[in-house]
Structure 1
């Protein structure tokens, strides 16, 4: 009957096991082309029923008495087998009538003519079904003796409704009424997926699409962030976003100091940090636009404004519109006589006026035991007004030295004087990297009870200062001359005055000497400044000979 095809749900388990077991054994014992019926029936001459319907063996080893491929694929929307006639959808299914105990012929007699239209053969709808059809060809139940008796429960014709659509599911051969086409199942079991040829249900595909969309969105978001960061970095590196120049003329007042050794790029960076100009690159461009033969910016103090136009700041620093000044450069470890010559050359002040002030340290706030300005004229570069006096110029240099000593917590005039003496000797005797080591060795020599020098400094730089020359080569007579007050080979303690203008690094080393046991040092290579230290005079003589040997190989350097 319609809607009562064979289904495992409608057959008692015992009957399924009994009949299925017997049928499986019978079919396994017979090969292809054997006569229908079991061996027992053929031996007894019993009438053999027509060949049963084919069955499929599942992966689990069990059989399924259902339609074979390609009718395993589910009906698709729009196919004639998709809809179910309303008059059959409501018919109840009797479990007892669901199984016909009597075998039914695989091909029943043709039905009486009816107004109902038979269901057309399902077409092969896609390439996948064509492959399934080739792998699982339909079984000819009429000529295939291996077909089981379950085929009798299947009809090759399905009832159709007025629209020509069958009322049963052609895939499962079940009497279950198909759902509404708009109601798509959310998921399918693994068995259903297998029977559907591996295709996922629409609900599963939707969830997969949603997951793919979310993952794709995250990936695109990360890529967009990386791209944005890369663009910002490139813009910063290439200067694509340059700051705008201040319109000027500026506001407030600020004193800006240019330190020795600063170039235009460094100066522009400090100007930008202090808010004087808007951008370093804009300032560098403005320096090149200044109408001046020499675009050099000299060290010194400049009076500027905040938020100045870069061209205005560059003009002041380069000197086009700056106040006309006298520029004086004082080198490290030079003596007062050399400083006076530089001042006179820059300002046209007579050297005699400067020398006269040199012997009057009290006019500059210096107290005894200071004898003159030697050691107090701080090295550096200065800019003085054209009308500056000799005392104004010298006072500014003395103030720079006192400022450095005070910053090192040295305020006592006598101690200040002692530090300047040691610092000037360090500047003449050692390289900057050895200042603190030599400072410690000088402290050791100044101890009156030391057994190595007996309180004598024994430095050549002090002796040649008293001789008013700069060459370090001394004769035995010059070392033995007690008339030279600066002869540290004959007079204990420090010299009467500093022997030059020490820089800040030497002053710091004199204040903070390295504690060591050295008494002697000698530079064995004047080109590299290599200096060797000794605790005894015997070791010191070895290093002295090393220096003589080097000079023998470098006569031009040791002249």
Structure 2
């Protein structure tokens, strides 16, 4: 470009020396105030000269060749700069303050304690916790019921409590406006649990009566519902129903704790139990295990489990009791000739629980459930087995056990492999009975 005004160009016939690169040649003097440290001049609003790149000096402005040197020392200029610095400082303080406020709120949202009530609760509200509910799901139910203020309040309190993860399914009576800590403590207190407990080995008749009592309905209501709505309760395909089976639902009211609150319909309570039983039996693979044990179907395996539950007294008894059942079912059994001879099956058909049966009463009865007179398994389960009995039914011992006697008449069961050993156990039982044991 042509040289600017006030700058000399090269002499005629001479060429300006070319720099070896972009940075070796002479560099123009830096005049920008950012680098020189000078105050930034503010051009006056003047008339633009059409023929020059300058403002009209009559307007007391400076041109692009340099500012008015007298103005650099002007006190007004310094005052203006001071005021500008003050404004910048105030703006910066405002920005810093705003950032701090936002940061504090962000910290509270991310890391601060969750919203929580401080009281122990008032009134009474029932909360139904379903099977398998997580802490967050329980917390959501509590928030919906007005028990706690936020899910986080309950979840954090549950984590802080060493037993917090032991809260089980069921119906809980709690208050509204409880702190998360108080809610967790209350739910861990058995007194707050409004649940129906089905014990291992309970017969269906006991379960029906317990449901009637819990719901406050007429005796026999749940039993009638079980009979009339059997097909809608969710039984698996392998469940059976024929004229010999006394209750097709026997064995499917799985032991455990159930949330059966006031106002629940009997069919809802029954469906809850059947669904849980079906899940448990599917996980245990009753279909495959029945085949391994040489049984006809999982229905028979469930029946074996119910016998083990009814006859066994302790956890250690169950596997031995299971072996006794399988050994007596064998075609090669010449000890009892495939007769199980279990008191529990006779008691089931009679709706009783006697331990000392007479030969006359058992030998004179030929009901399919009387295993003293009918070979093989009874037509169906005689109760609802718990998990230990079910596990024993699929994994019996293999020691050759064929007999057993509750020698103390109550809690102690002893086992034998031969008839001679069995007779000694019978004598021991009779001796204890004579002593009132």
TM-score by length of 1: 0.44
- Residue of structure 2 in register with 1:424 after alignment: 306
1:481–1:487 CA contact under 8 A, matched in 2: no
Matching of residue 330 in structure 1 with residue 198 in structure 2:
yes
The CA RMSD over aligned residues, in Å, is 3.7
- Residue of structure 2 in register with 1:231 after alignment: none
- Residue of structure 2 in register with 1:64 after alignment: none
Structure 1 379/541 Cα, relative in aligned 2: closer, same or farther at 3 Å?
same
- Residue of structure 2 in register with 1:262 after alignment: none
2:409–2:432 CA contact under 8 A, matched in 1: no
**Structure of greater Rg:** 1
Structure 1 534/343 Cα, relative in aligned 2: closer, same or farther at 3 Å?
same
The secondary structure found in structure 2 opposite 1:472 is coil
Offset of residue 362 of structure 1:
2.4
Offset of residue 437 of structure 1:
1.0
Alignment of 1:378-397 (within 5 A): 378-397=254-273
- Looking at structure 2, the residues matched to 409 and 256 of structure 1 have their Cα atoms a distance apart, in angstroms, of 30
- Residue of structure 2 in register with 1:248 after alignment: 115
TM-score by length of 2: 0.56
Q: 2:281 aligns with which of 398, 402, 405?
A: 405
- Looking at structure 2, the residues matched to 454 and 540 of structure 1 have their Cα atoms a distance apart, in angstroms, of 16
Offset of residue 346 of structure 1:
0.8
Offset of residue 256 of structure 1:
5.5
Q: Deviations over 1:35-71 (max 9, x none)?
A: xxxxxxxxxxxxxxxxxxxxxxxxxxxxxxxxxxxxx
Offset of residue 538 of structure 1:
2.0
Q: 2:344 aligns with which of 457, 461, 484?
A: 461
1:465–1:499 CA contact under 8 A, matched in 2: yes
Structure 1 254/415 Cα, relative in aligned 2: closer, same or farther at 3 Å?
farther
The secondary structure found in structure 2 opposite 1:329 is strand
2:214–2:261 CA contact under 8 A, matched in 1: no
- Residue of structure 2 in register with 1:499 after alignment: 382
Q: Deviations over 1:348-372 (max 9, x none)?
A: 2334332123335322232442452
Offset of residue 503 of structure 1:
0.8
- Residue of structure 2 in register with 1:441 after alignment: 324
Q: Deviations over 1:454-507 (max 9, x none)?
A: 111111111111121111221122221243221101111111121111111111
Alignment of 1:341-356 (within 5 A): 341-356=209-224
Q: 2:418 aligns with which of 527, 536, 545?
A: 536
Offset of residue 312 of structure 1:
4.3
Q: Deviations over 1:274-329 (max 9, x none)?
A: 7553522898xxxxxxxxxxxxx875388x9xxx8323444666699x9xx96312
Matching of residue 361 in structure 1 with residue 230 in structure 2:
yes
Q: Which sections of structure 1, spanning at least 5 residues, go unmatched?
A: 1-243, 258-270, 284-296
How many residue pairs are counted as aligned between the two chains?
Answer: 278
Q: Which sections of structure 2, spanning at least 5 residues, go unmatched?
A: 1-110, 118-133, 140-151, 291-295
Alignment of 1:518-557 (within 5 A): 518-526=401-409, 529-553=411-435, 555=436, 557=437
Offset of residue 514 of structure 1:
1.3
- Looking at structure 2, the residues matched to 357 and 387 of structure 1 have their Cα atoms a distance apart, in angstroms, of 16
- Looking at structure 1, the residues matched to 216 and 338 of structure 2 have their Cα atoms a distance apart, in angstroms, of 45
Structure 1 246/541 Cα, relative in aligned 2: closer, same or farther at 3 Å?
farther
Matching of residue 300 in structure 1 with residue 162 in structure 2:
no
- Looking at structure 2, the residues matched to 313 and 245 of structure 1 have their Cα atoms a distance apart, in angstroms, of 20
Matching of residue 511 in structure 1 with residue 394 in structure 2:
yes
